[in-house]
Amino acid sequence: MKEITVIPLGTISPYPKGEKNNPGYLLKSGEEKLLLDCGNGITRYLSFPEDLQNLTLILTHLHKDHIGDVGALQYASYTHNNLGSLTKKVKMYLPKNDFNHSKQSMRETQESYMTYHDIEQKNKEQIGPFELTFYNNNTHPIETYMVGVKVGKSKIVYTSDMGPNASEEVIDFCKDSDLLIAESSYLKSHHANSKVHLTAFDAANLARLSKSKTLLLTHFWPEEDPEKYLLEAQEIFQNSFLAKEKQKIWIRR
């Protein structure tokens, strides 16, 4: 039986507030670590240099709330390499296309101890025990990837940012997830009618259609009561939960 530990580091958007950060999820299996997005504030919940060891960072897209702490992580890797406490480079995966020169500035900095790799639609990557797949559902304003993570028989899907899309391809990508981590920026009561973000109801509907086992709601509006998201999701998918900073979730199968 193999185990994945999932630790939310940031759960709100578009700005951090109080003890809550912008999006970031740390996954651990054995000695390997994945960091899904690197939003503003998440590095305060990481332990350096321990969490830099065998670390791979996946940036699902280049909006500021998902990359705000990249500079801090880069400089941490640079400093700890100089101190001799980090001897293996951190890997960073980014969308293939640049946006507002964000990718160019990250890749060209001299003050990091990292290697850089492109994400494309057909990419499949094996990083230690993690088998990664990527899917661009083309509903966010810029190139944005959902991420599938498998370890043994366990499957986690992170939607990143996406608009309402229950196409057969999206449902298939999420199918039979042990844990579906889905953005839920809005409530139905907000009447946002967003084409680029989900409501809690939309997230729950995706979990239901894809026959996921558990739904973890995230990407909340900073001023909104998270319990409202939970109530809305549980209307149609009972096994829904709220992501909370620093909680630990174990997936074993």
Please report, for the chain, the start and end positions of each structural domain, with discontinuous segments joined by +. Answer: 3-252
* Residues 139 and 162 sit within 8 Å (Cβ to Cβ): yes
Strand order from edge to edge, sheet including 124-127: 124-127, 130-135, 146-151, 154-158, 179-183, 215-218, 240-242
- Dihedral sign for Cα atoms in the order 190, 191, 192, 196: positive
pLDDT tens-digit readout, 175-230: 999 999 999 999 999 999 999 999 999 999 999 999 999 999 999 999 999 999 99
CATH number for the domain whose boundaries are 3-252 = 3.60.15.10
Written as tens digits, the pLDDT of the chain (253 aa) is: 789 999 999 999 999 999 999 999 999 999 999 999 999 999 999 999 999 999 999 999 999 999 999 999 999 999 999 999 999 999 999 999 999 999 999 999 999 999 999 998 877 899 999 999 999 989 999 999 999 999 999 999 999 999 998 899 999 999 999 999 999 999 999 999 999 999 999 999 999 999 999 999 999 999 999 999 999 999 999 999 999 999 999 998 8
**Omega before 14 cis (within 30°)?**
yes
* CA–CA dist 229, 35 (Å, integer): 25
Nearest to 193 by CA among 232, 164, 229: 164
